[in-house]
């Protein structure tokens, strides 16, 4: 039998099994009605037949065939029992050698007594572990509530109060304080002090100067070394310079203090301190507990500072907006007064000048020689040009002050209408109009029409010398847009093959009354492109030009989103 089991074990291992388990039903031993001692001895020695072998013998007992007394003895001598499909550790286990020894009751009594003592020790260890776990869960809950509380406020007093309400659940701190540190002056100033939960006036605690050579202990030591410190040799008398002094009449003296630097983003922001009236009230475990707490407080303080800076910047911006609005209102009032002056005060002398010169020509034509009539022509031309300049200036003013009404504008349709108007001025002039379809924009329709009219009128005028003029209105594809416009909206253009201009003078293009060509070559007042720029700017866009002398010009413009 033993040889057979050895062979079966080797076969199982060769087939890749980690071990061989043998299960035997023990009913067969009943034929000789053996006693429990013989059964136990048999089982105890059964596995000794396979020393060093990966073979395990498991004996099964039929409860209907064996007496309870015999099964009880069997269970006592097995460290493990298989009941159903579960394996259980036998707390009543007695080694077979002891059970089969000369005095089984005494051995069993000794083992049970040892088991009871071990059980008590295990129960005590479990109770202590449970208490530690509960304390850790309580601390973790307080830390979680602290983190949530600090995340919900940007108000410094609320941050301080929230910190105290949770720290008092973690350590003994009848005296509690938070101070702010100014690295520029190396000064620590009290901001939030409590005694038994009651607020103390921070002014009672003088600022603490912390020079570089200050002793590396206490408040100064925690700030300089950026490490928490426990102080046990506190002064025997209350001193606001060293301890958190209670209200008048409170003569208690702190015996232990814990100082934890408050830091955020690598900078020391302040100091968290707790003081106790008990000896050796704090330990390294408290430092490990309050270190992360101080970091949370530091982040909350930094967020509060950033929020305060944001509010200050907002208020400053609002003040600048109000100031700028007032300046704009004043400027608009002055502009309106100027427009009124131009409309009435300046036009009246011009009308008189033009009228009297006309009367002079009508009634005294014969009395003037050729030189006099030439002077008179020049006076009338200058008066008329001055009148046109005033009219253009008023138009520019109206463009600046007009309110905007946004809507979708079909620029292709507008361009075709303007082209028809310009062509009607000289139907015989050969001009090739190339206007792209589908050019739409959001903006004020009357103003966009005025801007487009000025650009096309410009192209019409400066292509005059060309025997075959070409004027194009379109939109750049995304790949051809300038870098600063690539992520924005559409880039429209008006291109012509006219006389062009020197780009060295491009900075004068959009200034009022600035001209790159003489009045004799191309009449005008220099207001058209200035008007275009005002309209495009009011639509949050920009306008620019590219040209070469005698090679034509292209004017680009964008329009911002509503």
Residue 138 pLDDT more than 90? no
Residue-range definition of the domain harbouring residue 476: 403-558
The per-residue pLDDT for 91 is: 72
**Of 283, 310, 337, which marks where a domain is finished?**
310
Same-domain status, 95 and 189 = no
Work out the average pLDDT over 126-134.
Answer: 89
For 237-292, how does the pLDDT look when each residue is reduced to its tens digit (9 = 90+)?
A: 766 666 777 777 777 888 999 999 999 988 999 999 999 999 999 999 999 999 99
Nearest to 77 by CA among 98, 57, 59, 63: 98
CA–CA gap between residue 19 and residue 148 (Å, rounded): 55
Same-domain status, 51 and 155 = no
CATH classification of the domain holding 182 = 3.30.450.40
The per-residue pLDDT for 540 is: 87
Same-domain status, 97 and 154 = no
Which range among 22-31, 330-339, 533-542 shows the weakest confidence by mean pLDDT? 22-31
Q: Which residue has the higher pLDDT, 45 or 424?
A: 424
**Of 282, 310, 338, which marks where a domain is finished?**
310
Decide: pTM greater than 0.75: no
The per-residue pLDDT for 393 is: 67
Residue 442 lies in a domain: yes
Same-domain status, 535 and 429 = yes
Q: What is the 3-state secondary structure (H, E, C) of 319-372?
A: HHHHHHHHHHHHHHHHHHHHHHHHHHHHHHHHHHHHHHHHHHHHHCCCCCCHHH
What is residue 466's three-state secondary structure? coil
For 315-347, how does the pLDDT look when each residue is reduced to its tens digit (9 = 90+)?
A: 999 999 889 888 877 776 666 676 666 666 667
For 286-322, how does the pLDDT look when each residue is reduced to its tens digit (9 = 90+)?
A: 999 999 999 999 999 999 999 999 999 999 999 998 8
CA–CA gap between residue 512 and residue 526 (Å, rounded): 6
In the predicted model, what is the mean pLDDT of the chain? 82
Same-domain status, 234 and 292 = yes
Residue 381 lies in a domain: no
Say how many domains are in the chain.
Answer: 3
Q: Which residue has the higher pLDDT, 344 or 505?
A: 505
CA–CA gap between residue 164 and residue 273 (Å, rounded): 10
**Of 310, 331, 356, which marks where a domain is finished?**
310
Q: Which residue has the higher pLDDT, 68 or 463?
A: 463
Same-domain status, 16 and 155 = no
For 32-84, how does the pLDDT look when each residue is reduced to its tens digit (9 = 90+)?
A: 455 556 666 666 566 555 556 666 666 677 777 777 777 777 777 777 777 77
Residue 479 pLDDT more than 90? no
């Amino acid at each position: 039998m033993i040889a057979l089991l050895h062979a079966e074990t080797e076969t199982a291992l060769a087939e890749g099994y980690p071990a061989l388990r043998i299960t035997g039903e023990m009913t067969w031993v009943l034929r000789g009605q053996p006693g429990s001692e013989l059964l136990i001895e048999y089982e105890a020695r059964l596995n000794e037949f396979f020393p060093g072998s990966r073979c395990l013998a498991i004996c099964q007992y039929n409860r209907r065939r064996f007496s309870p007394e015999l099964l009880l003895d069997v269970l006592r001598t097995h460290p493990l029992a298989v009941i159903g499909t579960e394996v259980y550790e036998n707390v009543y286990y007695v080694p077979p050698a002891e059970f089969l020894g000369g005095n089984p009751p005494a051995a069993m009594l000794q083992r049970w007594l040892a088991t009871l003592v071990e059980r008590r020790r295990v129960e005590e260890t479990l109770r202590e572990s449970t208490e530690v776990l509960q304390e850790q869960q309580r601390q973790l809950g307080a830390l979680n509530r602290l983190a949530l509380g600090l995340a919900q406020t940007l108000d410094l007093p609320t941050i301080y109060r929230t910190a105290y309400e949770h720290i008092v659940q973690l350590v003994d701190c009848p005296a509690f304080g938070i101070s702010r540190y100014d690295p520029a002056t190396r000064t620590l100033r009290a901001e939030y002090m409590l005694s038994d939960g009651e607020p103390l006036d921070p002014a009672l605690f003088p600022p603490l100067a912390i020079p570089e050579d200050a002793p590396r202990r206490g408040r100064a030591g925690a700030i300089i070394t950026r490490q928490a410190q426990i102080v046990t040799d506190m002064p025997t008398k209350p001193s606001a310079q060293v301890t958190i002094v209670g209200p008048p009449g409170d003569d208690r003296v702190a015996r232990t203090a814990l100082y934890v630097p408050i830091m955020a983003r690598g900078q020391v922001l302040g100091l968290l301190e707790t003081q106790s009236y008990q000896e050796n009230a704090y330990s390294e475990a408290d430092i490990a507990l309050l270190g992360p707490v101080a970091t949370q407080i530091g982040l909350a303080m930094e967020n509060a500072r950033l929020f305060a800076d944001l509010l200050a910047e907002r208020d400053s911006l609002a003040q600048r907006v109000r100031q700028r609005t007032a300046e704009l209102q004043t400027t608009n009032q002055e502009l309106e007064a100027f427009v009124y002056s131009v409309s009435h005060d300046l036009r009246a002398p011009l009308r008189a000048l033009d009228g009297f010169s006309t009367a002079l020509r009508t009634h005294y034509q014969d009395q003037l020689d050729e030189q006099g009539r030439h002077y008179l022509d020049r006076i009338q031309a200058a008066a008329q040009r001055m009148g046109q300049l005033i009219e253009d200036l008023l138009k520019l003013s109206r463009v600046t002050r007009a309110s905007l009404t946004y809507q979708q504008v079909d620029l292709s349709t507008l361009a075709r209408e303007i082209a028809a108007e310009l062509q009607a001025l000289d139907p015989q002039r050969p001009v090739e109009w190339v206007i792209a379809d589908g050019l739409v924009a959001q903006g004020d329709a009357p103003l966009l029409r005025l801007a487009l009219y000025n650009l096309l009128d410009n192209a019409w005028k400066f292509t005059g010398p060309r025997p075959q003029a070409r004027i194009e209105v379109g939109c750049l594809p995304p790949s051809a847009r300038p870098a600063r416009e690539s992520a924005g909206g559409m880039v429209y253009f008006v291109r012509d093959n006219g006389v062009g201009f020197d780009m060295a003078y491009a900075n004068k293009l959009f200034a009022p009354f600035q001209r790159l060509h003489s009045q004799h070559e191309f009449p005008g007042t220099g207001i058209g492109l200035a008007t275009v720029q005002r309209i495009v700017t009011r639509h949050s866009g920009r306008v620019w030009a590219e040209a070469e002398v005698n090679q034509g010009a292209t004017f680009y413009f964008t329009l911002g989103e509503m």
